[in-house]
Amino acid sequence: MGACGAVNPAQALNVTRLASICAAVAGGNGHISKDPRRARLMQPHIRTQLQIIPRDQHNVSRRDISPNALRVLYRLREGGFDAFLVGGAVRDLLIGGHPKDFDVATNATPEEVRGLFRNCRLIGRRFRLAHVVYGREIIEVATFRANSDDGSGDRELHEGGRVLRDNVYGSIEDDAVRRDFTANALYYAIEDFSVRDYTGGFEDVRNRLMRLIGDPETRYREDPVRMLRAVRLAAKLDFEIETATAKPIPQLAPLLREAAPARLFEECLKLFLSGHAVKSFIGLERHGLLPALLPETAAALKSNRSGALRSMVLEGLKGTDTRVANDEPVSPAFLFALLLWPAYCRSLITLQAQGVHAAEAQRRAADRVTVHQLETIALPRRFSLPMQEIWLLQSRFSQRQRKRVFRTLAHPRFRAAFDFLNLRLAASDEHADDVAFWREAQSDPAHALAVDADAHRDESNEEGEAPRKRRRRRRKTGNGGE
């Protein structure tokens, strides 16, 4: 059987049901008002068709599920509740991957879940969730929830269609259709080990497609971060974004500016520090999301005709992917130094053209780029400061005076800045000399300095030049002060 066993329609149980999905008022300019009013919801229905894929027709095996997640599923079932593994874990298992976390969905309320587990705490203000804690592993248990406003819940929508609060429990069908992509809405049932599919996700996983559930534009307006999730998950899983799901993205991309900057920071880490950074970056470019996420970098890349800066960014992201694949540490400071380097260079050139002195221009460019980027992505100071240091150290690499060399070597950010210098080679071979010098300087600074001094002497000899003599200025002959 392949990674996703084919469903035999004769065996699969098909039940057609109606589940409600919120269609937020499409249109609107997505402007955030200070006093979000409770919007009236239209509730068109999404037709769901339950397809039960029996155990012998899929490859999700208990052997690949975390024992703690299994414990939670069994305990819920023994307590008389429905219990399913859900979301990314089912999707990843179907394509033969290794989920990094296991989420559980149930019809038990959070309080009922707490009643079953001693090691359980309830979290979340917007939506109560149960966390069952096993040492460092946390199994998240969510009660089925709906996106519909049936009057019993507590749901608020912003005029532009963005979901502000979301506190309605629902049926499993409701829970399925409020999820983002069909591939993320599959339920593995502990009672019979089948996979329950309400939205066609099983087929989409088999065809490696990211498809939004419901009307794409409405779903992006509810939560613009879904546009990034489409690109990220397609990159991570090697999926295509289905045509209708991809279509509205370039036009709606500016809505991302309204997303919470802290959430966008988290999303960036997932996009670029999970081992698929190159594919993520290319996906963001292709779907017109780069200008919304990294506006100044996007502008700088556009105006860099040679494409050298883009090559450097891609080279750096490739290195990041290799490090992740080798289980080596990766730092957000280095990542953002790379992603924002084109913006920094552009700002620096502008300031210098205005006559600002080099050192001052570097400081100001670093600050400008950081402050501007913070409007979109909440880069914490513990990362933005070392990011700026990496930039500012670049100009120190051309300074070879003994004292300065030792000072640069002792800088806590030297190693990262030197790695960054190496990357700049991808954009310009101008830096080959500096790279060679500082590589040597790390192991034997005194020797590097001596060799460097010799090299400069040799250079003039090689070209057969006599040491330059100072030219004397010819004195003007005074001829009447003309």
Contact 462, 470 (CB under 8 A): no
Going from the C-alpha of 275 to that of each of 52, 90, 316, 323, 415, the distances in angstroms are 33, 20, 12, 8, 22
Tell which positions 163-182 bind ligand ATP, by CB under 6 A: 179-180
Is 103 labeled as catalytic in the residue annotation? yes
> Whose Cβ is closer to ligand ATP: residue 171's or residue 304's?
171
Q: What is the CA radius of gyration of the chain?
A: 29
Binding mask 179-198 for ligand ATP (x = CB under 6 A): xx---xx-------------
Could you say which residues in the range 302-341 bind ligand ATP, by CB under 6 A? none
| Residue nearer to Mg ion on the CB measure, 30 or 88 | 88
Among the residue ranges 13-21, 117-125, 218-226, 454-462, the one whose residues contact ligand ATP (CB under 6 A): 218-226
Closest CA to 108 of 87, 130, 134: 130
Q: Which does 175 bind (CB under 5 to 8 A by kind): Mg ion, ligand ATP, none?
A: none
Q: Which is nearer to Mg ion, 83 or 338 (CB)?
A: 83
Rounded CA gap, 129 and 110, in Å? 6
Told to check if 200 binds ligand ATP by CB under 6 A, we report no
Tell me the number of residues near ligand ATP by CB under 6 A.
Answer: 11
Q: Pick from Mg ion, ligand ATP, none: which does 128 bind, CB < 5 to 8 A by kind?
A: none
Stretch that binds ligand ATP, among 221-229, 286-294, 385-393, 470-478 (CB under 6 A): 221-229
**Sites for ligand ATP among residues 254-273 (CB under 6 A):** 270
Angle between helices 225-237 and 277-286 (to 10 degrees): 130
**Which one of ligand ATP, Mg ion, none is in contact with 155 (Cβ closer than 5 to 8 A by kind)?**
none
> Which of Mg ion, ligand ATP, none does residue 110 bind (CB under 5 to 8 Å by kind)?
none
The nearest distance, CB 213 to ligand ATP, in angstroms, is 8
Residue 85 beta carbon to Mg ion: minimum distance, rounded to whole angstroms: 11
The listed partner (Mg ion, ligand ATP, none) that binds 373, CB under 5 to 8 Å by sort, is: none
Near ligand ATP by CB under 6 A: residue from 85, 225, 230, 345 = 225
Q: Least distance from C-beta 268 to ligand ATP, angstroms?
A: 13
* 180 flagged as catalytic: yes
Q: How far is the CB of 125 from ligand ATP (least distance, A)?
A: 17
Contact track, ligand ATP, 131-170, x by CB under 6 A: ----------------------------------------
Tell me the residue number closest to ligand ATP, measured at CB.
88
- The answer to whether the beta carbons of residues 144 and 105 sit under 8 Å apart is yes
Q: Which residue among 5, 88, 161, 316 contacts Mg ion (CB under 5 A)?
A: 88
Of residues 173, 223, 242, 296, which one binds ligand ATP by CB under 6 A? 223
Q: Are 291 and 326 in contact (CB under 8 A)?
A: no
Residue 465 has which token pair? 């030049």
Task: Write down the catalytic residue from 92, 174, 175, 180.
Answer: 180
Other Cβ atoms within 10 Å of 375 Cβ, number: 10
Closer by beta carbon to Mg ion, 39 or else 186? 186
- Residues 44-103 close enough to bind ligand ATP by CB under 6 A: 87-88, 103
Catalytic residue among 64, 82, 101, 215: 101
283 in contact with ligand ATP (CB under 6 A): no
Nearer Cβ to Mg ion, position 88 or 200?
Answer: 88
340 contacts: CB under 8 Å, gap ≥ 6:
294, 296, 297, 369, 370, 373, 387
Q: Between 108 and 234, name the residue whose CB sits nearer to ligand ATP.
A: 234
Positions marked active-site:
101, 103, 180
Which residues make up the interface to ligand ATP (CB under 6 A)?
87-88, 103, 179-180, 184-185, 223, 225-226, 270
Which residues make up the interface to Mg ion (CB under 5 A)?
88
